[in-house]
Chains A and B, each alone.
Chain A
Amino acid sequence: MLGRAVSFALVGLEPRRVEVEAHLRGSDQPSFAIVGLADRACQEAKHRVRSGVQSALLRWPNLAITVNLAPAALRKEGSGFDLGIALTILAASMQVPPERLAEHACIGELGLDGRIRPVTGTIAAAEGAARAGLGRILCAAESAPEAALAGVEAVGVRHLAEAVGYLLGEETIAPATPREWNGAAPALPDLEDVRGQERGRRALELAAAGEHNLLLAGPPGTGKTMLARRLPSILPPLTHEEALEVTRIHSVAGTLTTGGLVAAPPFRAPHHGASTAAVIGGGAVPRPGEVSLAHRGVLLLDEMPEFPRPVLEALRQPLEDGVVSVTRVGGRGLFPARFRLVGTMNLCPCGARGDDRLECLCPPARIAAYGDKVSRALIDRFDLVVTMPRPRAEELAAPPSEGSAAVAARVAVAAERLAGAVPRRSTAASELLDRAVDRLPLSGRGRARVARVSRTIAALAGSEEVLPEHLAEALSYRTPSARVST
């Protein structure tokens, strides 16, 4: 007796179709084996499936059972095949109609009591089902709204018995509707809390509108981190396509908290103790790292020089390509990683440099060593560099500043403009840029960055052309010359 079901394994974010086959034959010795390059968690499915079937008051065939996960060469990991394995065995033992089962993809973990638990990457599996021409997917009830985003009929079930009843036609389950956004957006910290720091706020607005990387330098306690944390509150909303990308990544990583579409740009702030694999992605089975979890959103590296040098150096590739490629025995994973990088750092090890109330006593060699912790090549990737001064008392006592909503409105208009007809550089602005390259220390990459920022400034000003004043402002955010010459 043979049963068959379809499930999906993930290589990176890519779903790969997996045929779950069960063969049952009479034997004196009942047995249960899973073959087809199944990892540990997948092997343990044996115990979950047997207990689950029995808990659902279904008949466990006391035969020699062999389950094959094909293609055999593809590594299978995790507990998502449980549901497929259970249903295949039930189909082989004629407890569910095989032809009904064949119309569905199955993904979900079984509990010992037969309940069905959600697994990571459900939306990716559902997309695989849609691409494979399967119109329906059976999955945990909690994952159904996520699966429905892929445009398939998502049948959410809570228990194995419910799944069997549905396949037998005894129960009808309304397919889940794609969940756009459950409830109100979580309250993001608002820009109105930031007093003073006009230049820092301006740079934040530019970073939001033009997808620029932003480096905030300055003594401790000047509000660098506070400002950085408010970037998500002024970002343009994600388009539907972008939201799907972000949801897919977070589903695979298991960081999907909403159970539906991620509508807001993500914000990630890994600790400086994080490993390269955690930040960039990787592991024995490729997993998205922080750079991918921040895709279409913000990656904040607070106290950037505290991060290990290899982690910082590894950032250069995703910053350049917008994608991380991780190759392992387990397969090659491609994870999108297009994010705005925000870094913060002090100007010297003691932190007093740049603070006119304190005196920095760091020897020059230590200041240089501190700056060297972040390579020139990485610093070069920051379009906007701003030094934040210690706010004056009168600023702190001032009435609240402009709130995020007003800034976000300007940003959205500018971002739209940049997506369409990008402002062209006027002749006068080009002349100014040439003069600046002559007189100021600007690398080739620096010149390109200034040009990019000047377009954002023009877009925010509503100008069709990049005028000299836009370019001049862009030049004021370049890397300070002191850090170029030493």
Chain B
Amino acid sequence: MTIRSLRRRDPGYPRLLSQIPDPPATLWLRGEADPGILDRAALAIVGARACSGYGRAVARSLGRDTAAAGAVVVSGLARGIDGEAHRGALETGTTVAVLGCGVDRDYPAVHARLAREIVDKGGLVVSEYEPGVEPAPWRFPARNRIIAGLSLATVVVEARERSGALITADFALEDGREVLVVPGEITSALSRGTNALLRLGATPVTGAGDVLETLGLTAPEPETVVLDDPDASAILVAVDEGRRTLDELGRATRLAPGPLGAALTLLELAGAVSVEDGAVHRTA
């Protein structure tokens, strides 16, 4: 495991991070990547740990599409939205995880493999705590200030009323960075935090394009999903109309369960949809 440290005075210290009110004195980095990636256009994607299938799908596709355009996706390696944002970014580009403990600690343990992958694919795991420091809940808000501080903009995908993701958004606003929010259903507790931000004037995210515009990036030519399959296109239309479960899709498209399952697999392989807990979501 390669671990390095960057002091505030060092020339490689991330420029954006040095501009926040209390930048960390030392930044510990795990991974072989050039610390220069921390100066590339970075986007924080944060949200609830206990998220919905919809939140998961959105986090993953935002991570993938923004990383594809060259953004570095920054998040906190937590379960839920954070993990999905990292995973999405790993599919097409580079991502950075900021921890609230030593960079040698795999926290949470279920994301140990994800952390390794981030490092193996040219990303970094970052922390202000020296190696060996145990994770503790009171360190997480401080970690969130680094996530916001490294990033040009912060996207909140799903957040309950007193979510840690809102703390990250607050830091971003204090640092004078952009805060974008993915709108959610007004009836869901998972949208209460995010919709409150929208009410306060945060920019709504209607697609990866909104985010890239904020970062001053342009989306690469979209990988054209070859969909000469009429069943598959019919399914996509039904998904866009808000049908979620496979049985609903079957009724909307008049497809028998067999051909429906087959067409969905092809759509999944093409990266157009994801199926989670029996519900189908668009990912592209």
Contact = CB atoms under 8 A, between A and B. Distances in A.
A199 B269 contact: no
B50 A473 contact: no
Nearest to A356: B244
Given A199-B260, A364-B80, 12 more contacts: A199-B261, A354-B277, A364-B50, A386-B278, A387-B277, A389-B244, A389-B247, A389-B278, A440-B268, A472-B263, A477-B261, A480-B276
Contact of A482 (B189, B258, B260, B277): B277
A354 B265 contact: no
Nearest to B78: A364
A392 B252 CA distance: 13
Interface in B233-280: 244-248, 250-251, 256-266, 268-269, 275-279
A29 B39 CA distance: 107
Interface of B: 49-50, 56, 79-80, 87, 110, 188-190, 244-248, 250-251, 256-266, 268-269, 275-279
Contact of B188 (A354, A359, A436, A461): A359
A440 B269 contact: yes
Contacts of B276: 480, 482
Interface of A: 196-199, 201-202, 217-218, 347, 353-354, 356, 359-364, 367-368, 386-389, 391-392, 395, 435-436, 439-440, 457, 461, 469-470, 472-473, 475-477, 480, 482, 485-486
| Among A199, A388, A457, A486: residue with most chain B CB under 10 A | A199
A264 B265 CA distance: 36
B266 A472 contact: yes
A477 B268 CA distance: 13
Identify whether the interface residues of B are mostly helix, strand, loop, or mixed: helix
Contact of A198 (B188, B257, B278): B257
Contacts of B189: 359, 361
A391 B275 CA distance: 18
A423 to B, nearest CB: 15
Given A197-B247, A469-B259, A477-B261, A388 B50 contact: no
* 5 A-B pairs with least C-beta separation: A387-B278, A476-B261, A389-B245, A472-B262, A202-B257
Contacts of B278: 217-218, 354, 386-389
Contacts of B50: 360-364, 367
Contacts of B188: 359
Contacts of A201: 257
Nearest to B270: A439
Contact of A353 (B80, B190, B247, B277): B277
A110 B276 CA distance: 62
A439 B260 CA distance: 20
A359 B263 CA distance: 29
B258 A473 contact: yes
Given A368-B110, A389-B246, A473-B259, A439 B265 contact: no
Contacts of A364: 49-50, 79-80
B79 A202 contact: no
Contacts of B246: 198-199, 389
